């Protein structure tokens, strides 16, 4: 998605440890019009799969996922990292291991929000090693629902997540694929492919 690639090139920043910082438009500060375009793009890509729900993980996934759900005309379900006081009923739960923080966290979704008739589109802001997406896939599996696709705003194509998810048969659509952040330079997959 050209507008996104241009935004990453112009405002993305590689910080210590090879982390891509996009907090001027995707997570800490959010560009609502870019999110709208991202939502339209995901909706166009996945409308044919007839999703009944969009699922994301708090909190950085919410903005692109909300706009996608809006375009598709379906509810958004936000998986929680901490079980809030108001979540009183039965839940689906999955473990998500964070390599950056080196800790395992549980994600939870109320059982009342997903069932065996749901066709779930998973949306997240980043795909690196795929642990968050796999946690959401597990939640959908527990509900007996189907994953109809996985939409990712920025895929770190030099990490394993994309391969892992695609090898399991999931259709993964990434709007920007980063081939490398080596030497603090952001190189897109498309650039590398074209030499």
Per the annotation, binding residues for xanthine are 20, 27, 156
Let me know: does 87 contact 80? Beta carbons within 8 Å.
yes
Site string for its own copies, 83-112 (x = CB under 8 A): -xxxxx-----------xx-------xx-x
Ramachandran angles phi, psi of 142, nearest 5°: -60, -30
Q: Alpha-carbon torsion 160, 161, 167, 173, what sign?
A: negative
With contacts defined by CB under 8 A, name the span among 43-51, 63-71, 127-135, 177-185 that binds its own copies: 63-71
Let me know: does 41 contact 1? Beta carbons within 8 Å.
yes
Q: Is 121 in the site for its own copies (CB under 8 A)?
A: no
With contacts defined by CB under 8 A, name the span among 61-69, 115-123, 134-142, 163-171 that binds its own copies: 61-69
Q: Alpha-carbon torsion 140, 143, 147, 148, what sign?
A: negative
The one-character DSSP state at 160 is: S
Q: Is 163 in the site for its own copies (CB under 8 A)?
A: no
* Contact residues for its own copies, defined by CB under 8 A: 15-17, 19, 21, 23-25, 27-33, 35-36, 58-59, 62-63, 66-67, 69-70, 73-78, 80, 84-88, 100-101, 109-110, 112-113
């Amino acid at each position: 998605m050209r507008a996104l690639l241009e935004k990453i090139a112009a405002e993305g920043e590689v910080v210590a440890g090879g982390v891509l910082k996009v907090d001027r438009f995707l997570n800490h500060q959010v560009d609502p019009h870019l999110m709208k375009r991202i939502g339209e793009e995901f909706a166009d890509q996945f409308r044919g799969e007839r999703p009944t729900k969009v699922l994301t993980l708090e909190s950085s996934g919410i903005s692109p996922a909300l706009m996608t759900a809006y375009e598709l005309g379906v509810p958004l379900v936000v998986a929680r990292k901490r079980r809030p006081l108001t979540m009183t009923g039965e839940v689906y739960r999955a473990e998500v291991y964070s390599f950056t923080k080196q800790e395992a966290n549980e994600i939870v979704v109320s059982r009342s929000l997903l069932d065996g008739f749901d066709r779930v589109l998973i949306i997240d802001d980043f795909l690196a090693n795929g642990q968050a997406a796999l946690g959401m896939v597990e939640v959908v599996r527990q509900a007996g629902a189907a994953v109809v696709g996985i939409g990712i705003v920025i895929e770190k194509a030099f990490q394993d997540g994309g391969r892992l998810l695609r090898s399991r048969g999931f259709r993964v659509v990434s709007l920007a694929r980063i081939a490398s952040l080596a030497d603090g330079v952001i190189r897109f997959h498309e650039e590398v492919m074209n030499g």
